[in-house]
Structure 1
């Protein structure tokens, strides 16, 4: 038989109340900040690279109040906010916005600056992704060179043994597998082109 909320033990009702508050904190809200273009692009790019929604990544950066306070304490002054900025509206959880506002007031630091410095915590992750992208480009060149060798080997083998020979078919199979993997790698590299664009953006900012 189902019980109503009033019939539940006090601790159970209390736990349900906490859960409801947690759900309310997850409600999405919109907030506008003034940030440098490279900071806006950094957040968008890293969300894409990590396969996350931008809101989820933004929330992860803002929802830990203790970390956010450490970030705020590391900023020497409001003058740290430099360069040209523009307004950008983000979707974030209500909880993230409340924590952001609270830390901003408590630490006496502009909210925009706090958001910027928090997003810049992604730079080491970006650096690692850039390094991976460069290594993938080198691998791509090596695989293209290997493909040329396999194409020649397949042609030579067919000329010597015939196209229906088992050895000829094995070489063709190896060549086909390499071609498929090369296409997959090129798709990964295409996804990483935004990393190259971000590098150019930082160079010209």
Structure 2
């Protein structure tokens, strides 16, 4: 039964080998390295998956290669970085680099630059999250005052006060979780 399902999905040894992870070293601007890292961190996606996505569309890769033709990288602003990517992604990068007579590093740099719209979108969301958190913190102050009033009016041991304390305690924990999430997104702030 399982073998039938595997055969129906048309797995081949070559397909599986293409998904295999390999290491490749590229010499890239630090800003580009940071861009890939920040997007992976913010979205909770592995860099390998991002590479796979960036190089899977041959038309886009062709346009990137055309755009990169006149680019002259500055050597002093570049750093070597080893990445894990799929064998298929590395093969696609090598193929397009040879076909368009470009260094692999330049092709990878321009591919990663495709992430700027994602960064712009995430940066805007990050700013909105910060605004919402600020409003939630203001409400937290008011809720503390509300709880003081509830304790005064109906007493510390009243069932309603106990339930309200549970609600606001959960609210406080949620705010702490949101702060952690916002802290994680601070890496987006460095990009223009």
TM more than 0.5: yes
Match of 1:135 among 111, 122, 128: 128
Over the residues paired in the alignment, what is the CA RMSD in angstroms?
2.0
Report whether the alignment pairs 1:186 with 2:171: no
- Superposition TM-score, scaled by structure 1 size: 0.81
In structure 1, what is the equivalent of residue 59 of structure 2?
Answer: 66
Residues 36 and 86 in structure 1, CA contact (< 8 A), matched pair in contact too? yes
Deviation at 1:170, TM superposition (A): 4.5
SS in 2 for 1:87: strand
Partner-residue secondary structure (3-state), 1:78:
coil
Q: Which residue of 1 aligns with 2:114?
A: 121
Query: Separation in 2 of the partners of 1:47 and 1:147?
Result: 32
Please list, as runs of the form range in 1=range in 2, the aligned pairs for 1:1-205 lying within 5 A after superposition. Answer: 19-79=12-72, 81-82=73-74, 84-196=77-189, 198-199=190-191
Larger gyration radius, structure 1 or structure 2: 1
- Cα deviation digits, residues 12-52 of structure 1 (max 9, x gap): 8xx66xx1111122222221111000100111111122221
TM-score scaled by structure 2? 0.86
Q: Is the 1:44–1:54 Cα contact (8 Å) retained in structure 2?
A: yes
Unmatched 5+ stretches in structure 2: 1-6
Partner of 2:4: none
Contact kept? 1:47, 1:53, Cα under 8 Å: yes
| Structure 2: distance between partners of 1:138 and 1:163 | 33
Kindly indicate whether the alpha-carbon contact (under 8 Å) linking 2:69 and 2:102 is maintained by their aligned counterparts in 1.
Answer: no
Instruction: Write out the 4+ residue segments of structure 1 that deviate beyond 4 Å after TM superposition.
Output: none
The aligned length equals 183
Deviations 1:131-180 (A, max 9, x none): 11111111111111111111111112211221233443444343223212
For 1:103 and 1:133, the matched residues in 2 are separated by 35
SS in 2 for 1:91: strand
